[in-house]
Structure 1
Amino acid sequence: METSCFSLSCFSLTLFLSLFTTTVLAGDPDMLQDVCVADLNSSVKVNGFPCKADITANDFYFKGLANAGATNNTMGSVVTGANVEKVPGLNTLGVSLSRIDYAPGGLNPPHTHPRATEMIFVLEGELEVGFITTSNKLFTKNITKGDIFVFPRGLVHFQKNNGVEPAAVIAAFNSQLPGTQSIAVTLFGSTPEVPESVLTKAFQVGTKEVDKIKSRFAPKKN
C-alpha cells in the first residue's frame, strides 16, 4: 500500500536533499590529496601555489592574531592577515582569517575583496560597517562585541570605529588569499599612475585636487 509523504519531516528532507545537491554541484572541486602545503619559494606560477614535499605541523600554525596590531597610522586601523602567505597549509583549502584593529575613530577605508566573501566577528568595541551594491545601494549597521556582519564578495565595504575605545574584529574569508583593493590607493597610488585626465573627468574635479590626493597616496621611494 502506497503512502503519501506530505508531512513536515518529508518536506524538510526533500528540501535538504535539493540544497545538498545544489551545493555539491556549485562547490569547489574535490581535493585529490589530503594536503598541499604551499611552497612559497617556488618559481613555478600556478593558480595558487605548488605543493612542497617536506611539511611539518608548523605549516598549519600561526599565532599572529593573538595580539592587537599597531594602529598609529593615518587611517587608525591595521589588518593582520592569516592567509596562505602566513599559513602555507591553507593552500587549496579555500579559507583564511584576518584580525583588524581600530583606534578610536579609526577607519578601514572603502575596499573590495575580489576573490572572497568576508564575515567579521567583533572581539571588542563598536563599529559602523557597511557595503554598497552594484546598484549603489548602501547597507549599514552599528555592531558591537559578539556581533557578526557579512560583506558579499567583490562589493565595496568599510568599517569605522565610532567609539571612544579601541575595537577589534576577526574576519573570515572563503579564499586562501582573498586579495584587497583599497579604492583610494588603487586609483591614486597605482604604478604607473592612472592618467590624470581619467581621474579629473571621473571625479569631476580639477588637476590641482587630483595632484593633492595623489601626493598622499604616492608609493614611498626607498
Structure 2
Amino acid sequence: MALRLLLVTIAIMALASSFANASDPSPLQDFCVAFDDPKDALFVNGKFCKNPNDVNANDFFFRGLNKPGDTNNPLGSKVSAVNVANLTGLNTLGISLARIDFAPYGLNPPHTHPRATEVLTLLEGTLYVGFVLSNPPPGMKNKLFTKTLYAGDVFVFPQGLIHFQFNIGHSNAIAFAGLSSQNPGVITIANAVFGSDPPINPDVLTKAFQVDNKVIEYLQSQFWYNNNNN
C-alpha cells in the first residue's frame, strides 16, 4: 500500500511538473534568425532557422522607431510594432517592442495580446490606461484597473487581458511597449466582433449584447480601422 501511494505521489508530481513547464522552452542555441526558405534550414517555433554561418548583424537590427506613426486616422493612434515579422533575429527570443503614437484624444482601443504581457512606458503626453480582469465571481462585474500616466510612468498589462490607452491631453503622446513574445498577436475587440470575415451571425451578437438587431446590423456595416497595420 505504501509503495502504491509513493508511486501515485511521484506520478502526480511529474504531471504537475509537466504542466508547469508547458510554456515556450528556453532556446537551445544562441539564436535562430527567422528564414523564409526551408532549404537546409531548421523549423523552430513556427519559423525556419537561417544557417548560422549566413547570419550577420543586420539580422538583429531595425531602424525607424524615431519616426512618428501616422495618427491621421479614425482612432487618432498608430502602433509601430517590431516583432519577428520585421526583425528576424527576435525569433525564439520571446520579446518584441512597439512604439505607439497618439494625436490629442487619440485612442488605442480595447484589445488583447493572446501571447504576451505588455509593459508600457510613456515618453510624452498624458494617457488614461486600464485593463479588465477575467472570471469575475458570480454576481460580480469584471474589475477595471485604471491609471493616468505622465511622462516617465510605467504600467503593466497582464497577458491576455483586455486593455486600452487613451490620450486625454491636448498634445501628442508617445509611448513604447515591451512585450513578452516575439509575436504577441493582437485582437482588437470591436474589429474582431463586428468586423469579422465572414460576419458573425447577427442573432448571436443580438443575444450576446442584448440589443436590437438593427444596432448590430449598423455596427457590422461600419468600417473598423486597424491601427496595428505596419
TM-score range, shorter chain: 0.7 to 0.9
- Cα separation, 2, equivalents of 1:98 and 1:196: 34
Aligned residue pairs total 197
The two structures have a TM-score, normalised by structure 1, of 0.83
Offset, 1:100: 0.4
- Cα separation, 2, equivalents of 1:178 and 1:149: 17
Q: What letter is aligned with 1:52?
A: K
Match of 2:33 in 1: 37
Deviations 1:158-201 (A, max 9, x none): 00000000001000001000000000000011111111111111
- Cα separation, 2, equivalents of 1:40 and 1:119: 30
- Cα separation, 1, equivalents of 2:37 and 2:75: 32
- Cα separation, 1, equivalents of 2:166 and 2:126: 9
Match of 1:114 in 2: 114
Match of 2:193 in 1: 187
CA shift in 2, pair 1:73/1:80, >3 Å: same
Taking only the aligned residue pairs, the percentage that are identical comes to: 54
- Stretches of 4+ aligned residues off by more than 4 angstroms: 25-28, 41-46
Provide structure 2 residue ranges, at least 5 long, that are not aligned to the other structure. 1-19, 137-141
Match of 2:73 in 1: 73
Match of 2:61 in 1: 61
Residue correspondence of structure 1 range 14-29 to structure 2 within 5 A: 28-29=24-25
Offset, 1:42: 4.9
Return the match for 2:213 from 175, 190, 207: 207
The two structures have a TM-score, normalised by structure 2, of 0.80
CA RMSD of aligned residues (A): 2.3
- Cα separation, 1, equivalents of 2:100 and 2:37: 27
Deviations 1:117-167 (A, max 9, x none): 000000110000000001200000000100000000000000000000000
Provide structure 1 residue ranges, at least 5 long, that are not aligned to the other structure. 1-24
Return the match for 2:157 from 119, 130, 151: 151
- Cα separation, 2, equivalents of 1:198 and 1:78: 31
Q: What letter is aligned with 2:169?
A: G
Worse-matched range after superposition: 42-51 or 127-136: 42-51
- Preserved contact between residue 65 and residue 80 of structure 1 (Cα < 8 Å): yes
Deviations 1:61-114 (A, max 9, x none): 111311110000001001000001010000000000000000000000000000
User: SS in structure 2 opposite 1:158?
Assistant: strand
- Preserved contact between residue 103 and residue 167 of structure 2 (Cα < 8 Å): yes
